[in-house]
Structure 1
Amino acid sequence: MDQKLLHGANPSSPYPAWLQDTGDAPGPGPTMIPPLSPQRSDPRLLSQFFFADERVTRVVAEINGLDAELDPQQYLVLLNQLHLSQAHLLAILERIMEECIPTQRHSRDYLVKFPEELLVDNLGNHMLFAAECLLAGTFLEVEEADGAQLRPQARNLLCSLELVRTVLREQSLSQPSSYPEPVRAVLIQFDRLFAEFELSYVSSLVAVKSPEEIYRQQEIIVLFCETVERALHMGYLTQEMIDGYEPLLMFTIPRLAIISGLLIYPDGPLSLEQSPEQMSQVFSPFYNLLKKIRDLLRVLSAEELCLLERSLCTAESEDSCSRATPPAWEAAVPRAEPSAPWTVLEVPHPTSPPSTCMVQLGPPGAVDDLGSAWQWGPQSLGSSPGLDATLSAHCWELRSRYSSTKDMLHTLFVCISGVADQLQTNFASDLRSILKTVFKIVASQVEPSEETGASRE
């Protein structure tokens, strides 16, 4: 074939070759050469988009020409093909935008507000399907009033998508290696409209997190990381457990974090000096119970706290520990002996107020040998004998409510485990997201040389 027909007679012309006059054809007018379709083997994104778009168009035509009532099985087959072909088209379009307008993409920071279960690979395809339903007057997931408000956004989004498909098809037939300004403009507009509709639509379905809640959960991530570091220092956990993503850690880390948040970092996200409304929604439902847990934790000796924390790390979750937390501290606590090694809790019940009540001395500072900012032993906030006596009496009064030290530690174990384990049920999505981030931070970082060696091996 004449190369002039492929590449054009005038390379400097702004028009594609098939719109140029080659000078070879007779007659007064220019010869219109039909555009050449891209080759399927062409790896360029615009060429791949051409065939993906062609596939969507063909499936839609087959669906429109089918009577769904006469052949419902074939209709379902075509509908599934449509979803798959649309998802493929959107994936290529996403890659084109990353290649064409990487610095002009609309911000997707709002995605951190969404529940984790919504952040799936086919979310974009679902958004376009929702827009089509809204434009057709069908409200599958939203209230009618919300749907009426979303319909203009849905219309603008779908119109923008059709414009993008038209422009990219034309570009793929003319110059599939370049993205002129008109192409960039329609892509920027589509990206913005898609993001705006996605945020509006999801916000009408579920309660998205506020910026304040996102910040509070980031504070919880910091607390969990500090908890893991302390647990490593104390020997409760090992780095191998963390690097191996030991399943038990999903229970262990939140349990230990409750103790850290109440005792070691009392000004952090579990601070009880703030109101429940100021706490993260993850822990605010347990506000009153956390207060009672904190009060009892404060009367433990260093040895007792160590025993409690070790039991929280090693005890298997059992019925009595996974039940709902008692509504009041004085509520009956299950007394069934667990199958875990509870012998660590066999501590003699003191006959007099313990001399090892722990007292916080000022704000967290130097870390002692237990890995915390707390001072242990018969020390007090001051030298006043009256204050010492008051603190000792308070410690004794709290401890005297239990028949033995084991009973007291068992109560703490059940209540702390109850709060932590309910996070798995009531805030599963938030907790998974928090723990994922924690593991990314505290897991061992592979050195580049190790990665290279592993890949060679």
Structure 2
Amino acid sequence: ASRPAMLQSLGRKLFLPHRKSGSELLSRYYAADQELVRVAQQIKRLDADKQQDRVSELIGELKECQQRVMKLMLELMNELIPDRRHPKDFRMKFPDEVVQEGLEGQLWYASECLAAGSSILYREVEAESIRPLAIQVTREGEKTRRLLRDEASRSYFGAEPRANRRLLDQLALFDRILAEFELSYVSAMVPVKTMTEMDQLQEVAVLFSETAAWALAGGHIRRDDIDECEPTLMIVLPRLAVLHGLLVHPDGPLSTKDRPASKLCPLFRAFHSHLDRVRSFLGKLKQSDRDRLVRRLCLTESGDATDAEADVDADADRVAGLFKVIAGVADQIQSNYAWELRYLLRCVYNLHCSEAVDEAAASAAAATATLAVEEGLDAFDWQVTDSVQSASTSMVTAAATGAEASAVEPPAWVPDSASDVCTNRRCGQAFTITRRRHHCRACGGLFCSACTRARRALPVLGFDSPVRLCDACCVSAAAVNENNGDRA
């Protein structure tokens, strides 16, 4: 190469700024970090008393910038120190609404607020106890950011980040401290289960899994119900689990023999006396009556655990009385322990879902990824509005031409990690602990709950029952249904 060309190349490296479209993690991190610094400096220059609206707007931007920076920091940790990541098994004790994408970014913002002297409303004592840890998170986070910025500059000249031992150690330290703060902060904000409670819940999960296997073998539920996550399983499976636990597992998690109510799993603690009475009556039932009871429990009628004594003691129809009590206990679990029930059902789905369904989902994801690579697409360059338009056009075209439902395949879902905000252009709100992600079944895009309130059937895509749709796809689905009605 000529000398002028070499000088020109060196000049580009020295003087051209980092571009946000860079493919390297470090260059993308540098751009995101610079954006965060810019927003933070703007906030410092404003008068909070005179420009409250502008400050609030910039704080929202600051949170979004922190989310992006933290997301890239976590990706760098996975890339550079995959074997030194701090375990987060404690998350299984958290409620579902807490564990979500972007949690670390929210924790980072919370740590800065606590480190600056803020407190947690109605939890002042807890705030004081975790404030030293919050200060440590803020301090180590700044060190990590500084080292990553320096490493991003060095990487332009071919430096290998894995050779920077100081950076790797700092990433591991920050990961550990952030995990410790996460456990302490979440424990202060929401109820977190103890190890004893988790062990008891695991025993109930085993009971639910064995109940599902027994119900599948007996034909009480279908394999398709599990594969398709049929909503009726939320009613039927807990009822069958109560019956199965009382009949088949005398020493299992529902055992009341020589066990006080305080030793039972919290899900069944309030029904100790009811379970004890039901167990005694079940032993007196004939096999034909047990079969009749199972068939009734597979229906979706409601029960009443409060009428246990009156109904079970009635000799006219003991099966009906047992049904009311068992169904009442199971239905109370659904009402009072929604998170625990979701956890139990998720265990059942993961263990008993057909391998064909898993392989089909994996094949579809692989095909989508391969297509993106072949076409030179950026995996993170999601264009949901184009997907909405494409899916809507496909539905309307299929309905207008009288195509079969199988002619249009449901689109692949946009990954949860692809967006931190609602992809409805008129909304654009950031996802948080309370504003969660939802997928439109028609276009596969990511939206908040406010933008996916519509429910419509999509026979063209194979959904005969109403499913969640975004606003744009709801309009298209209405046109499809109207078109089908006109042809009929």
Q: Output the TM-score relative to the length of structure 2.
A: 0.68
Residue 247 of structure 1 corresponds to which residue in structure 2?
231
Residue 234 of structure 1 corresponds to which residue in structure 2?
218
The number of residue pairs the alignment matches comes to: 359
* Mapping of residues 260-271 of structure 1, within 5 Å: 260-271=244-255
Judge conservation of contact 1:263–1:294 (CA < 8 Å) in 2.
Answer: yes
* Distance in 2 between residues matched to 1:101 and 1:110, nearest whole Å: 20
Larger Rg, first or second structure (1 or 2) = 1
Name the structure, 1 or 2, with higher relative contact order (CA <8 Å, separation 6+).
1
* Distance in 1 between residues matched to 2:266 and 2:28, nearest whole Å: 46
Residue 26 of structure 1 corresponds to which residue in structure 2?
none
* Distance in 1 between residues matched to 2:362 and 2:232, nearest whole Å: 31
Q: Could you give the per-residue CA deviations for residues 263-321 of structure 1, whole angstroms, max 9, x where no partner exists?
A: 1122221122233233222222211111111111111111111111111112334xxx2
Residue 398 of structure 2 corresponds to which residue in structure 1?
none
Residue 311 of structure 1 corresponds to which residue in structure 2?
296
Find 1:117's aligned residue among 97, 105, 112: 97
Find 1:283's aligned residue among 247, 268, 290: 268
What's the CA shift for 1:36? 5.7
Judge conservation of contact 1:35–1:174 (CA < 8 Å) in 2.
Answer: no
Which 10-residue stretch deviates more, 97-106 or 74-83? 74-83
Residue 392 of structure 1 corresponds to which residue in structure 2?
none
User: For 1:272, what is the secondary structure of its paired residue?
Assistant: coil
What's the CA shift for 1:141? 4.5
* Distance in 2 between residues matched to 1:129 and 1:297, nearest whole Å: 55
Q: 1:114 to 1:447 in 2, by over 3 A?
A: closer
Find 1:3's aligned residue among 6, 25, 34: 6
* Distance in 1 between residues matched to 2:20 and 2:363, nearest whole Å: 38
Say which structure is richer in helix. 2
Q: Does 1:429 align with 2:339?
A: yes
* Distance in 2 between residues matched to 1:433 and 1:96, nearest whole Å: 30
Unaligned runs of 5+ in 2: 368-408, 410-488
Q: 1:124 to 1:182 in 2, by over 3 A?
A: same
Find 1:259's aligned residue among 243, 248, 251: 243
Residue 162 of structure 1 corresponds to which residue in structure 2?
142
What's the CA shift for 1:411? 1.7
Find 1:301's aligned residue among 286, 310, 332: 286
* Distance in 2 between residues matched to 1:136 and 1:295, nearest whole Å: 61
Find 1:404's aligned residue among 312, 316, 320: 316
Unaligned runs of 5+ in 1: 9-17, 19-33, 334-398
Residue 187 of structure 1 corresponds to which residue in structure 2?
171
Residue 309 of structure 2 corresponds to which residue in structure 1?
330
* Mapping of residues 21-420 of structure 1, within 5 Å: 37-141=17-121, 143-175=123-155, 177-179=160-162, 180-273=164-257, 274-317=259-302, 321=303, 323=304, 325-326=305-306, 329-331=308-310, 401-405=313-317, 408-420=318-330
* Distance in 2 between residues matched to 1:89 and 1:123, nearest whole Å: 13
Judge conservation of contact 1:116–1:430 (CA < 8 Å) in 2.
Answer: no
What's the CA shift for 1:244? 1.5
Letter of the 1:296 partner, please give it: F
What's the CA shift for 1:403? 4.1
User: For 2:97, what is the secondary structure of its paired residue?
Assistant: helix
* Distance in 2 between residues matched to 1:72 and 1:136, nearest whole Å: 19
Q: Output the TM-score relative to the length of structure 1.
A: 0.73
Q: 1:286 to 1:447 in 2, by over 3 A?
A: closer
Judge conservation of contact 1:160–1:190 (CA < 8 Å) in 2.
Answer: yes
User: For 1:117, what is the secondary structure of its paired residue?
Assistant: coil
* Distance in 1 between residues matched to 2:357 and 2:293, nearest whole Å: 36
* Distance in 2 between residues matched to 1:449 and 1:225, nearest whole Å: 21
Root-mean-square deviation (CA), in Å?
2.6
Judge conservation of contact 1:38–1:172 (CA < 8 Å) in 2.
Answer: no
What's the CA shift for 1:186? 0.9
* Distance in 1 between residues matched to 2:299 and 2:328, nearest whole Å: 15
Letter of the 1:73 partner, please give it: D
